[in-house]
Amino acid sequence: MSLDSNPIYAAPDDWRAYSGVLSRRVFAFVIDYMLVALLWIPAAVVVFFLGILTLGLGWLLYPVLFFIVAGLYFGMSLAGAAQATPGMRAMGIAMVRLDGRKLDFVTAIAHLALFWILNSILTPLILLAGLFIERSRLVHDLLLGTATVRTA
């Protein structure tokens, strides 16, 4: 199965599929992390009551709670039918694998982890790479064989 057989996405060599993707990714990132922050609030309340029930043991989840919420949010939404987070859908973009297969949960989590690891090391070079690499791909896209395309 190739990208051009998917009715949502344009052919991989169509330059219009990658036009303006980098700026749309930045805005999608902001939208998604506002949503993750909103989802973190009820998760923190659940962990609070879990901590009471477990005599404080559940409160050990607080340091990693944001990462758990973000991982589930990105993993489940990128592995879904639209292959896009709600922020990406709002900006009219989606993530695809270059081999044409559907994005799975593990690849989505690996994409998120590599983004944060490389972002902490290469800031702001991670976004600058998208200006020079074909298809406006970022470094973690290259490592995982993914690309972000326009859906509109």
Tell me the per-residue pLDDT of 26-41, one tens digit each, with 9 for 90 and over. 999 999 999 999 999 9
pLDDT at 100: 85
Of 4-8, 28-32, 64-68, the least confident: 4-8
Structure tokens that stand for 50 in this block = 């879990």
Sign of the alpha-carbon dihedral angle for 72, 77, 81, 84: negative
Domain boundaries, the chain: 3-150
> What whole-number distance in Å separates Cα of residue 117 and Cα of residue 146?
17
Radius of gyration in angstroms for the set of CA atoms belonging to the chain, rounded to a whole number: 17
Q: What is the pLDDT of residue 72?
A: 96
Query: Comparing 86 with 132, which gets the higher pLDDT?
Result: 86
Q: Quick one: average pLDDT of 138-145?
A: 91
In order of 84, 86, 106, 108, 110, the CA distances from 79 in angstroms are 8, 12, 9, 7, 12
Residue 62 has pLDDT above 80, yes or no: yes
pLDDT band at 12 (very low <50, low <70, confident <90, very high): low
User: What mean pLDDT comes out for the span 79-89?
Assistant: 94
Mean pLDDT of the region 62-89: 95
The model carries a pTM of 0.84
pLDDT (0 to 100) of residue 7 = 45
Distance separating alpha carbons of residues 119 and 63, to the nearest angstrom: 20
